[in-house]
């Protein structure tokens, strides 16, 4: 589903002094956030992230935004503004820079440090422009003011983009924690000032729009972690996002208070926390941090493993621990803390990991049974505050599934934003801000781009359908040799099945029917091997469906003697 209006035509030419907004990801899903702003023929990109695959996308590593819309206009891009350093906002940057390497990357110090480390792995040397809250920069025809916002990663920024068409305020991901661990609150004074000046379009985070009230303050997590550590008999394993600096800080503090050492587990965790510590965003108590190989020599009640894999990712450290194929072997008496909320679509994977760890004898503490995580996204109460402070002329909910966008739109209307000024869009829908009014004017093709190993975009929905069929229904190959001159089947059909519980002997029942169908077709003038293969596929497919109640993938091969 690209957008909620499948009947929309391609957009018209952008009117003079009009601003166009096209989301290439992040609307209708949680992830791969990317918005393209166009004014006077120039483009500004806000965020460029990835989406992580779900169970029905086997073999896929990452899902990228669809760059097709901008592929022929790369030279028109003034900059990529990155609101913060989470993968769903920066993860696709290397793939876009492969198309044009000198696009300036704009963001805070920590955000660009995370991006730079990622780009080194792709052997790309980027053009970086570090900005900070309160700063205003001009990128071609776009004046950008950066505003501090609070999120589950330090140094997050909202951006106010001003052009001749008006001012657009894009929040990125944000919440309004009044007691943040780093003392950096969402700058509501700047929001109010922008509101007084006039916000023509408010693009606002929707992820928690369905949740009433206010998000719990991060400081309340510290005592809960401290209590869990105090009760832990043996090792403590904490899983979190590899970029959640605040949570790692709280784990380091709790470990220090209880005389434990901390070993970081997972390449991205080691890399990101090294960067955060070097830049001063992470304060490491003296002697607390140790190498993973040193941890094995310590008593169980003196060690904490800070790990990746809180979303049940198959190759992440915690999943491998749950499966027993990691160097850290989880056992009876260990305590595992999942310090993150569930991203929609990951529930089954996470519960599978929890069950695996519980089976191994661990006590698993997660957001369902203890307050070991708070969301990084504003709840309904906080969003209402923002609407009332800003009094935006138009609203476009972003970052969330359809239900989140709709809930956010309803909040805007409740605060007095006219319903016809609230724009609901999904990926690929084109929104124009013209003469102070935002409206949907069309749509552009915008699909999923799958990364599978080293290939980008080669895997299609048809391939994924084949993979699902192989996984769920099994595989049948059929081989036959025919002589079209005599009209006889000389060998076969040889039938081989995989992934099906039935004994191979069951297929002997259908072999005479396959022979008869082939010989009848040849007698009727069919000599093309492809045509004969399809006859074999149809005969066996109908039989398997009727007799075995299965729809396997069938690969027929006919060789002419």
- Read off the tokens for 404: 């989140």
Q: Is 244 annotated as a binding residue?
A: no
Q: Is 373 annotated as a binding residue?
A: yes
d(CA 137, CA 119): 24
Q: What does each C-alpha distance from 111 to 85, 157, 245 come to in angstroms?
A: 4, 10, 12
User: Within 10 Å of residue 250's Cβ, how many Cβ atoms?
Assistant: 24
Q: Is 375 annotated as a binding residue?
A: yes
Q: Are 172 and 84 in contact (CB under 8 A)?
A: yes
HEC secondary structure over 420-451: HHECCCCCCEEEEEECCEEEEEEECCCCCEEE
- Burial level of 498, CB count in 10 A (0-12/13-18/19+)? exposed
Q: Is 16 annotated as a binding residue?
A: no
Edge-to-edge order in the sheet of strand 104-107: 127-130, 104-107, 77-81, 42-46, 34-39, 19-25, 429-434, 437-443
Nearest to 109 by CA among 157, 76, 77, 60: 157
Which helix (DSSP H) or strand (DSSP E) does residue 58 occupy? none
Nearest to 135 by CA among 188, 190, 185: 190
Please provide the DSSP assignment of 324-370 as one string: T-SSS---TT-EEEE-SPPPTT-HHHHHHHHHHHHHTT-EEE-TTTS
Q: Are 266 and 320 in contact (CB under 8 A)?
A: no
d(CA 184, CA 207): 21
d(CA 43, CA 24): 13
Q: Is 49 annotated as a binding residue?
A: no
- Coil, helix or strand at residue 13: coil
Which helix (DSSP H) or strand (DSSP E) does residue 471 occupy? helix 461-473
Q: Are 431 and 423 in contact (CB under 8 A)?
A: yes
d(CA 36, CA 81): 10
d(CA 426, CA 301): 50
Q: Which residues are annotated as a binding site for substrate?
A: 373-377
Q: Which residues are annotated as a binding site?
A: 373-377
């Amino acid at each position: 589903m690209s957008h909620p209006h499948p009947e929309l035509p391609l957009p018209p030419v952008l009117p003079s002094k009009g601003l166009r907004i096209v989301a290439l990801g992040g609307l209708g899903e949680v992830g791969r956030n990317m918005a393209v702003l166009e004014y006077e023929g120039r483009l500004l990109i806000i965020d460029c992230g990835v989406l992580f695959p779900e169970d029905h996308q086997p073999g896929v590593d990452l899902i990228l935004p669809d760059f097709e819309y901008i592929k022929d206009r790369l030279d028109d891009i003034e900059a990529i503004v990155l609101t913060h350093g989470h993968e769903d906002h920066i993860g696709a940057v290397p793939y876009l820079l492969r198309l044009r390497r000198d696009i300036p990357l704009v963001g805070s110090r920590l955000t660009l440090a995370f991006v730079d480390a990622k780009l080194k792995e792709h052997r790309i040397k980027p053009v970086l422009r570090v900005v900070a809250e309160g700063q205003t920069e001009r990128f071609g025809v776009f004046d950008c003011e950066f505003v501090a916002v609070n999120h589950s990663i330090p140094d997050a920024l909202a951006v106010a983009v001003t052009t001749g068409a008006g001012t657009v305020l894009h929040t990125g991901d944000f919440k309004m924690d009044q007691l943040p661990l780093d003392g950096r609150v969402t700058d509501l004074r700047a929001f109010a000032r922008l509101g007084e000046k006039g916000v023509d379009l408010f693009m606002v985070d929707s992820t928690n729009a369905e949740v009433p009230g206010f998000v719990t303050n991060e400081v309340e997590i510290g005592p809960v972690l401290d209590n869990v550590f105090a009760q832990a008999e043996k090792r403590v394993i904490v899983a979190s996002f590899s970029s959640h600096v605040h949570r790692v800080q709280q784990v380091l503090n709790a470990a220090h208070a209880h005389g434990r050492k901390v070993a970081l587990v997972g390449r991205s965790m080691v890399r990101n926390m090294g960067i955060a510590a070097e830049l001063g965003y992470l304060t490491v108590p003296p002697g607390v941090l140790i190498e993973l190989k040193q941890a094995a020599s310590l008593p169980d009640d003196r060690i904490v493993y800070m790990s990746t894999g809180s979303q049940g990712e198959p190759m992440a450290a915690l999943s491998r621990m749950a499966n027993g194929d990691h160097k850290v072997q989880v056992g009876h008496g260990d305590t595992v803390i999942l310090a993150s909320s569930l991203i929609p679509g990951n529930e089954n994977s996470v519960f599978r990991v929890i069950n695996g760890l519980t089976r191994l004898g661990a006590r698993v503490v997660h957001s369902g049974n203890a307050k070991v995580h708070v969301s990084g996204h504003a709840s309904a109460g906080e969003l209402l505050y923002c609407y009332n402070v800003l009094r935006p002329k138009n609203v476009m909910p972003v970052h969330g599934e359809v239900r989140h966008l709709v809930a956010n739109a309803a909040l805007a209307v409740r605060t007095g934003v006219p319903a016809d000024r609230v724009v609901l869009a999904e990926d690929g829908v084109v929104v124009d801000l013209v003469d102070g009014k935002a409206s949907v004017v069309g749509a552009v093709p915008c699909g999923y781009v799958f990364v599978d190993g080293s290939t980008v975009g080669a895997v299609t929905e048809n391939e994924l359908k084949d993979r699902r069929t192989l996984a769920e229904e099994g595989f049948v190959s059929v081989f036959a040799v025919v002589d079209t001159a005599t009209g006889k089947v000389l060998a076969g059909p040889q039938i081989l099945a995989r992934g099906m519980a039935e004994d191979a002997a069951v297929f002997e029942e259908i072999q005479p029917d396959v022979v008869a169908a082939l010989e009848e077709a040849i007698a009727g003038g069919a000599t093309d091997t492809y045509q004969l293969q399809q006859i074999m596929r149809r005969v066996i497919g109908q039989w398997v469906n009727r007799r075995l109640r299965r729809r396997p993938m069938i690969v027929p091969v006919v060789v002419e003697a």
